[in-house]
Amino acid sequence: MDNLENKKRLEHIYNQLVHIANGNFSYQIERTDQNDALEALTFLVNSTTEELRDAFLHQGFIKLHNSYEMVVQLYFELDNKGQILRTNPKVEALLNFKEGTLNGCPFAQFLEKRSQRGWKKLLKAAPKDKIWELTLELSFSERSGLLLPAHCHVIYFPEHREKNGTFMVTCFELVKYNGTDQGFLQKKLKKQLQAHGLLPRPEKTETHILHAMDMENLRKAERYIMDNLDMPLPSIRELAHICNTNEYKFKKGFKELFGMTAFQYQKHERLRKAHILIEHSNKTILAIARTVGFKKGNHFTREFKKRYGYTPSQLRKRSK
């Protein structure tokens, strides 16, 4: 535990936890080839970061008026050899470097090894005589060694008169949307349009049951549905009972968390399971329909076609 390498690994975990505590879920810890307790801890911290990040996004999607927006996080301008000409100040802050120290350095220096290889390949293979662009995933490595995975958009502008070719690398991040003045004006405009009937009116019942309700309980209901796909759905009252809540809260909460009613969710999962079984097993379609809780074959086929756009037998033929 006391050797230098392990100390460094522990330090990475520590740094990552500090970032999480500050609400920054952008980084990931670089994994090593070890499989000891420290590596297990690293994996858990990375997974936790990802889960938290997703949970925050999910909250954003259901709480629409407090949503997220895309902002440019990193912006690099590179010369035709891939050396940094200039960046936005945020780059230095995020990668943890002092102001002005990045200019002139090769871009690859700030990437993690695998991304470095990918980037170098791209530099070599890319045409230099025309404009092109592509999106790829690169992992930046900030100064203390944490990784910052990012979807980057690379644009190349070829030589033009005296100007050498240049690369632009940008990457975006979702951030929590803070109502700005612009947002206020947009809201006002929207209200006016709604008042004149030019936009659909907002739904009145915009309460957020999920805040008041234990998500764990809703998961119980979900699990119950998943475990009993072949059975008819119990009444809403019974489902609410499983969640230790009342019918109204259950209905609202389930819809908010899963985006559909319990009944729709059950159908959704039944069809998904059936799809897999048709693709990969030799059971007859009727037998599959029964296993996932459809009593009649034609009803199953109709629902299946509605969901996937092709019939079960078409899928069976295709997967043979």
Q: Give the separation between CA 208 and CA 187, rounded to whole angstroms.
A: 20
Which residue of 8, 11, 14, 47 would you call a contact of other proteins, by CB under 8 A? Answer: 47
Determine the 3-state secondary structure of 143 from DSSP. coil
State how far the Cα of 275 lies from the Cα of 282, in Å rounded to an integer. Answer: 12
Task: Give the interface segment with other proteins, choosing from 8-16, 38-46, 167-175, 234-242 (CB under 8 A).
Answer: 38-46
**Residue from 90, 251, 272, 307 binding other proteins (CB under 8 A):** 272
- Give dist(CA 305, CA 286) in Å, integer: 15
Q: Among residues 5, 11, 14, 44, which is the contact residue for other proteins, using CB under 8 A?
A: 44
List 160, 198, 227, 298, residue binding other proteins (CB under 8 A): 227
Half-sphere exposure of 283 (CA within 13 A, CB side): 17
Among 5, 11, 50, 137, binds other proteins (CB under 8 A): 50
Nearest distance from residue 238's CB to other proteins, in Å? 19
Q: Which range in 29-37, 63-71, 116-124, 251-259 contacts other proteins by CB under 8 A?
A: 29-37
E strands in the chain: 68-79, 84-87, 132-141, 147-157, 166-176
Query: Quick one: which of 268, 273, 290, 307 contacts other proteins (CB under 8 A)?
Result: 273
Least separation, in Å, of the C-beta of 221 and other proteins? 13
Q: Is residue 251 part of the contact set for other proteins (CB under 8 A)? A: no
| Contact between 31 and other proteins per CB under 8 A | yes
| Residue 303 interacts with other proteins (CB under 8 A): yes or no | no
32 touches 9 (CB < 8 A): yes
Query: Which residue, 84 or 288, is less far from other proteins as judged by CB?
Result: 288
d(CA 88, CA 104): 14
Q: Which is nearer to other proteins, 114 or 306 (CB)?
A: 114
Packing angle between helix 247-258 and helix 262-280, nearest 10 degrees?
Answer: 40
Nearer to other proteins, 206 or 216 (CB): 216
Length of the chain: 320
290 part of the interface to other proteins, by CB under 8 A: no
In whole angstroms, give the CA distance from residue 248 to residue 262.
13
Cα angle for residues 112, 114, 120 (degrees, 5° grid): 95
Tell me which stretch binds other proteins (CB under 8 A): 9-17, 41-49, 88-96, 152-160: 41-49
Judged by CB under 8 A, does residue 33 bind other proteins? yes
Locate 210 and state its tokens: 């999920």
DSSP 3-58: SHHHHHHHHHHHHHHHHHHTT----BPPP-S--SHHHHHHHHHHHHHHHHHHHHHH
Nearer to other proteins, 175 or 276 (CB): 276
Nearer CB in complex with other proteins: 50/133: 50
Contacts with other proteins, residue ranges (CB under 8 A) = 31, 33-37, 39-40, 43-44, 47, 50, 223, 226-227, 272-273, 276-277, 279-283
